[in-house]
Amino acid sequence: MTDSNSPELMPHPATAHTRSRNDITLPAFDAADFERASRGLLATHPTGVIDGPFGPAWDITRHAFITQDAPCPDTVHPSLWRQAQLNAIHGLFEVAPGVWQARGYDISNITFIAGADGWVVIDPLTVDVTARACLELANSTLGERPVTAVIYTHSHVDHFGGVHGVTTQTDVDAGNCRVIAPEHFMRETVAENLLAGNAMGRRSSYQFGGLLPAGPRGHVDSGLGKAIPLAIPGLIAPTEDITFTGEQLVVDGVRIEFQLTPETEAPAEMNFFFPDHGWLCMAENCSHTMHNLVPIRGAQARDALAWSKYIGEAIELFGNRTEVMFTSHHWPRWGRDDVHTFLGQQRDLYRWMHDQTLRLANHGLVASEIAEVLTLPPEFVTESHTTGYYGHLVHNVKAIHQRYLSWYDGNPARLHQHPPVEAGRRYVELAGGPDALVDTARRAFAAGDYRWVAELVNHLVFADPANAAARALQAEALEQLGYQSESATFRNAYLTGAQELRHGSPVQRPAGRRGLVRALPIEQLLDTIGARLLADEVGGVRVTIEFSFTDLDEQWVLGLANRAIHYVAGRGADDADARITTTREVLLAIAAGEVEIDAAHAAGDLMVEGDLGALHAIFDHLDVFTSGFAIIEP
C-alpha cells in the first residue's frame, strides 16, 4: 500500500501557470476594513481553543500562519488572502454602547444586547460549545447576566445550532427566555437541515473544506468566516414568530422593529432595527462578500430580485435613522453615510446579477455561456464586499438561470444524458482508451488548461476509479484550480476533491441530526420519516395508526398506502390497525434507531391497542443514511 505521506500524495506546489495567474495587483480595496474588523476589541478567548465532544471544536491557532503582515503565498489568490487576514481577527468587540459581538470563534457572529435584566442574544452560532465559550467571554469581560431572549435571524444552522450553549429548553419552557424567529423558521430548518441534510452535510465538507489541513496549500478560509466548528448542532423551537414587516416587540426592555425578508439569503429570514439606538441588524442579507444565490453544498435557489428589493426596503425603512449596522458575519459599518453607501452597493449587486443574467438568457444564452461572458463591472470590482469570496459570479449566474429556467438548458441533447459512469466509459472509448485520454490531458495540464484537464480526466475516473494515473492527474488539476480561486468555497471544493482522489473518501458512518430532531413538532418529524421510507419494501402494504402523545396532548393519524406515508392531525381513526399512546421523545428514539419498538412496548413507554405489527410495517422499513459517500468518484 502506498504511504499516505508519500510525496505524490501530499499537496503539490503552485505551477508556473498558477504563480503567474496569482501574481496580480489587487484593486484599491478599502483599507479601512482592517480598522473596522478590529474596532472595539475588548478581549480575546484565553487560548483560542474550544473543546468539543470530538476534540477541539474550534482552534484559532490552526490558522496562525495568516497574520496581518504575512506575504501572500503563491498557492493562494491574493484577494482571498486579504479576506482570510480579515477573518483571522477575533475576539469580543464593542459595536456601540450596549451591543457587543464575539467574532472569529465560529463561522458566524454572536451578538449580545444589554437588556434591562439580561442578555438578548442574536444568532447563537453553530454549536453549543462555541456559543457557551463566547457567552463566558462576554460575562467575564462585561459582567455576568442571564440570557433573557434569543433571536434567530434566519433558518441556517450556523445561526441557531449553538442555542443550548446560551440557554436551556427548561428555561425556555419556564418562560425565562424568549426565542424569537421569522415565520416559517421551523419549516425551512427542517427542509434544509433534515430532509436533504445528509446529502447537504457531505457536500458541505467540500464547500467549507472541513477535512483539509490548514495551511498555504490547504484550508485558509471559508469566505463568510474562518471555518465550521466540529461539534453537533442543536435546536430550541421558537416561542414567538415575526409575521409581518413593521412588527415591533419590546424584548427585555429593548424596542425592536422587524423587517421580514423571505426567500433572500434564507427562505425564512429577517432584518431588524433598534429605533432607540440607531442600530441596524441586516442578518445575513448583507456581508463583506458577494453571497451565494445557491450554495455549492446545495439548497433552494435564492431570489436575487427579492433580495435586492429587501435591501432597498431596509434603506427606506431604516437608512436615515441608522448609526451603526452589524450583520451575522464579518464586521460592522459605522456612520449613516457609510452604511447607506454599503447597503446601496449590496442592493445593486444582486439586482445587477439578476437583470443581466436574464437579459442574456432572453438572447438564448445558456447558464454556462452567461457565466463565461458576464464579468463584474468596475463599480463592484473595486469593492471587496461585492467580491465573490463565498458566492461566486459564475455560480450565481447559474443559480438565477436555475430559478427561472431550471437546470435544463433547452438543448434536447442534454435532456436525458448518461450518468457519470456510463458517460465516462463512452468518453474513454472515444478518446482511444485510458492511455490516450491521459496523454491528451497531460498536454493540457502542461499548457495550464486545468479546467479542461479536470473535465476530461473526470470521465476516466468515473469509468475506472482505480486508474492511478487518472486520479493523480485529476488531483493535480483540481489543486491548481483551487490555488487560483478567489472564492474560498471554490478553493475548498477543489482542494477537497484533490485530497479525496489521493486518499479516498472519508469513512462512512451512520449519519444523524438528533440534536435538531429533538426540537421538531410531530408534523415535521413525520416528514423526515417519510423521506427515509424504503418504498420498494412496502409495496402492497396498507396500515393506519392512531397516535396519542401524552406529553403534547396531541392526536395524530399516520397512514401508509401506495408506498408513501400520509398523516392527519387533531383526530383519531375508526379504522386504525393500532392505537398507540406514547411521547414524542419515545417516537424520536424509535425513528433514530436508538430504541427497538418491542423494547419500548415491553418497558411501558409504548402502549398499544390493536396490532403492534402496524408500527413495524413502517418503522422497520426506514433507510439509514451514511456520511462520507463518494463525490469525486463513483
Rg (CA), the chain: 26
As given in the structure block, the three cell numbers for residue 490 are 471554490
- Domain 521-619: which CATH class? alpha beta
CATH number 3.60.15.30 is the correct assignment for the domain at 31-403: yes
As given in the structure block, the three cell numbers for residue 65 are 500562519
pLDDT of 511 reads 66
Q: For residue 469, which of 430, 432, 506, 436 has the smallest C-alpha distance?
A: 436
Torsion of CA 210, 83, 498, 428, to 10 degrees: 130
The number of beta carbons lying within 10 Å of the beta carbon of residue 75 is 25
The residues spanned by each domain of the chain are: 31-403, 417-484, 521-619
Give tens-digit pLDDT for 560-586: 999 999 999 999 999 999 999 999 999
Q: For residue 604, which of 626, 627, 584, 581 has the smallest C-alpha distance?
A: 581
Residue 381 CA to residue 20 CA, distance in Å, equals 20
Rounded to the nearest angstrom, the gap between the alpha carbon of residue 198 and the centroid of all alpha carbons in its chain is 12
pLDDT of 311 reads 98
CB-based contact 117:147 (threshold 8 Å): no
Query: Per-residue DSSP letters for 302-328?
Result: P-HHHHHHHHHHHHHHHGGG-SEEE-S
Q: Which residue stretches of the chain have pLDDT < 50? A: 1-2
CB-based contact 393:371 (threshold 8 Å): yes
- Per DSSP (E only), the strands in 44-118 are 49-52, 55-59, 91-96, 99-103, 110-114
As given in the structure block, the three cell numbers for residue 332 are 460592522
CB-based contact 492:508 (threshold 8 Å): no
pLDDT of 627 reads 83
Residue 486 CA to residue 12 CA, distance in Å, equals 19
Give tens-digit pLDDT for 493-515: 999 999 999 999 988 777 655 66
pLDDT of 475 reads 98
As given in the structure block, the three cell numbers for residue 240 are 414567538
As given in the structure block, the three cell numbers for residue 450 are 486545468
- Domain 417-484: which CATH class? mainly alpha
